[in-house]
Amino acid sequence: MNPYVIGGGLAIIATLGLLLNHNVQKVGELRAKLDDQKAETQEAADANTTNMETITSLQDALGSCQALRRAEADEREALLVERSQELAAARIEAQRLREIRDDEQAENQNCADLSGLSIGSFCPATADSLRQRSSGPGSDGDGDG
């Protein structure tokens, strides 16, 4: 065989070997990058799962909190209604007591008017007779004893 052909064949084989080696290195690098990206993708998927679980638990907690707030608001509303009813009853009772007091004051005013009247102004003879009896025998009739 021709030494040029053999030399050319060896050169081609050496070149192909170098290309093959280069491609094997590239494939190794690409596999390493693929493994890195696979790990990053798995981490992202795990983080996404964790985030979804966190979101779900936060939504549950928010729902519970809202239900509790609604229950507290309903309790406050019921308490306000109860207090309003008690206030209305107290106002009615206060009005009733005010009317009783006003009636009593009017009655007392009538009694005061009657007690202010003097027997002497209506019947002077009876007034003198009562003074003499109250003073007793031996007094001068002025009622001071």
Cα of 16 vs its chain's centroid, Å: 80
What pLDDT shows up at residue 122? 63
What pLDDT shows up at residue 120? 61
**Residue ranges in the chain whose pLDDT is less than 50:** 141, 143, 145
Question: Does a structural domain hold residue 17?
Answer: yes
Question: Does a structural domain hold residue 145?
Answer: no
Domain span at residue 66 reads 3-112
Q: Which residue has the tokens 């050169």?
A: 11
DSSP letter for each residue of 85-105: HHHHHHHHHHHHHHHHHHHHH
Question: Does a structural domain hold residue 30?
Answer: yes
What pLDDT shows up at residue 107? 74
The number of folded domains in the chain is 1
Question: Does a structural domain hold residue 29?
Answer: yes
Question: Does a structural domain hold residue 20?
Answer: yes
Exposure string (b/e) for 30-44, b if CB count within 10 Å is 16 or more? eeeeeeeeeeeeeee
